Structure 1
Amino acid sequence: MSLSVWLSLVLVCLLGAMSPGPSLVVMVRHSLAGGRLHGIVAAWAHALGVGFYALLTLLGLAVILKESPMVFTFITYAGAAYLAWLGIKSLRAKGGVAAKLEKGEKTTLLEAARDGAMISVLNPKLALFFLALFSQFVAIGTDTFSRSVIVITPFLIDGLWYTLVALALSSSRMLETLKQNAVLIDKLCGLVLLGLAARVIVTL
């Protein structure tokens, strides 16, 4: 796997982690209500769920690529359409990030880990996201090392991103900055997702 391909994978994984949704709600709730350690525990439990989904998706797409290239091509186009839909939805959002910044009740570390893992494992959108994402990388990285990188990358990025969220939310100034720039964050994410969708179509 070339550096440019890996950087594309990193970018999509980062956008996926940053996009507002139920996972962000859980991470923010535990970080604000339970404290920094609760947020970090929830973050890496969530990352384990992401890694699990990544592995299952990679193995499934590899089998489809080998047995039915036409079906794999269809999945790739469908994945591009899904990325484009996410981009349009993000462009039309009016500060979705800010809407997700809400507090919750204090919980134990075990509950933080449970919530972090379950919100990723039970999120069907995560499976769709990986289908959209991995379809363009599976055919490129066929060796064991490349496939390991494809699985480990989203795991690490997800864990590191939500760890950063937990650390940032310990500062009230940072929280206020996120709220003030929520609309801009949505617009930038939307543009990048649309660009990535176009790249998938062009490179097929």
Structure 2
Amino acid sequence: MLTSFVAFFGAAFVIAMVPGPSTVVIVRRAVVDGRRTGMATVLGNECGVLLWGLAAAFGLSALLLASQIAYDVIRITGAAVLVWMGARALWRVRRRAPEPVGEPARTAPVSQRRALWQGLVTNFANPKAGLFAVSFLPQFVPEGAPVLPMLLAFSVIWAVVDLIWYLPLVWLAGRVSGVLRRQSVRRRMEQISGTVLVGLGVRLAVEP
């Protein structure tokens, strides 16, 4: 059983390193609004990870494998969320009045509660996370071990590993946020992150 936990910890860490929509949203929030807001986004993301893990443990996310309609509903919903977030970022850049060169951008910061919600929605609206949970977690359950408790334990480990990975990213983003908050740099970053989110949403919507 100890070998299974160690193997799962290593595999979950490798998976956490793969960039995706959550990475874009977390880094963007940390740079634009600071480390605390970035950490709130991370906590929201980990709530989504934990929910997918619990769904896999209780067999709910197996519906994504059994029902094409269920998968498509979550896929289109997730795509719409990503496109909306990206388009909103691009629209803010377009309508924002230019400020003196070198001055930090003056915009109302996103609340930590809203950042947490963004992290949760971004993760939980991704059907790939559900498919990953239902196909990945059971592989590490040792033969003869109680399945439900093991899957619940793996779900918690998955969320903790994800948290460990994002902590240094948020810290690094906070370190450079002073430079990146300058008007010209921030506008460019908002354009890039908005375009990436729209691209990820479109890709999620059109892929089979």
The runs of 5 or more residues in structure 2 that have no matched partner are 63-92, 94-106, 177-208
Larger Cα-atom Rg: 2
Letter paired with 2:128: K
The runs of 5 or more residues in structure 1 that have no matched partner are 64-103, 173-204
Query: By how many angstroms is 1:23 displaced?
Result: 0.6
What is the rounded CA distance, in whole Å, between the counterparts of 1:145 and 1:127 in structure 2? Answer: 19
- Root mean square deviation, CA, Å: 2.6
1:167 and 2:180 correspond: no
Letter paired with 2:40: V
Query: By how many angstroms is 1:139 displaced?
Result: 5.4
1:158 and 2:157 correspond: no
- Residues 13 and 154 in structure 1, CA contact (< 8 A), matched pair in contact too: yes
- Residues 53 and 152 in structure 2, CA contact (< 8 A), matched pair in contact too: no
Q: Structure 1, residues 42-76: CA drift from partner, whole Å, max 9, x if none?
A: 10111011001001112218x9xxxxxxxxxxxxx
Residue aligned with 1:148, SS: helix
Larger proportion of helix:
1
1:149 is matched with 153
2:88 is matched with none
Query: By how many angstroms is 1:129 displaced?
Result: 1.4
Measured at CA, do residues 145 and 127 of structure 1 come closer, stay the same or move farther in structure 2, by a change above 3 Å?
A: closer
Query: By how many angstroms is 1:3 displaced?
Result: 2.1
What is the rounded CA distance, in whole Å, between the counterparts of 1:143 and 1:118 in structure 2? Answer: 28
1:121 is matched with 124
Q: Structure 1, residues 149-175: CA drift from partner, whole Å, max 9, x if none?
A: 212101111223222221122234xxx
Measured at CA, do residues 9 and 146 of structure 1 come closer, stay the same or move farther in structure 2, by a change above 3 Å?
A: same
What is the rounded CA distance, in whole Å, between the counterparts of 1:10 and 1:138 in structure 2? Answer: 13
Count matched residues.
132
Letter paired with 2:23: L
TM-score (norm: length of structure 2): 0.56
- Residues 12 and 133 in structure 1, CA contact (< 8 A), matched pair in contact too: no
Runs of 4+ aligned structure 1 residues displaced above 4 Å come to none
- Residues 48 and 121 in structure 2, CA contact (< 8 A), matched pair in contact too: yes
- Residues 58 and 138 in structure 1, CA contact (< 8 A), matched pair in contact too: no
1:107 and 2:110 correspond: yes
Residue aligned with 1:60, SS: coil
For 1:58-97, what aligned pairs fall within 5 Å after superposition?
58-60=57-59
Q: Which moved more, 1:6-15 or 1:44-53?
A: 6-15
1:81 is matched with none
What is the rounded CA distance, in whole Å, between the counterparts of 2:114 and 2:19 in structure 1? Answer: 22
TM-score (norm: length of structure 1): 0.57
Residue aligned with 1:15, SS: helix
Identity %: 25
Letter paired with 1:45: G
For 1:31-70, what aligned pairs fall within 5 Å after superposition?
31-60=30-59
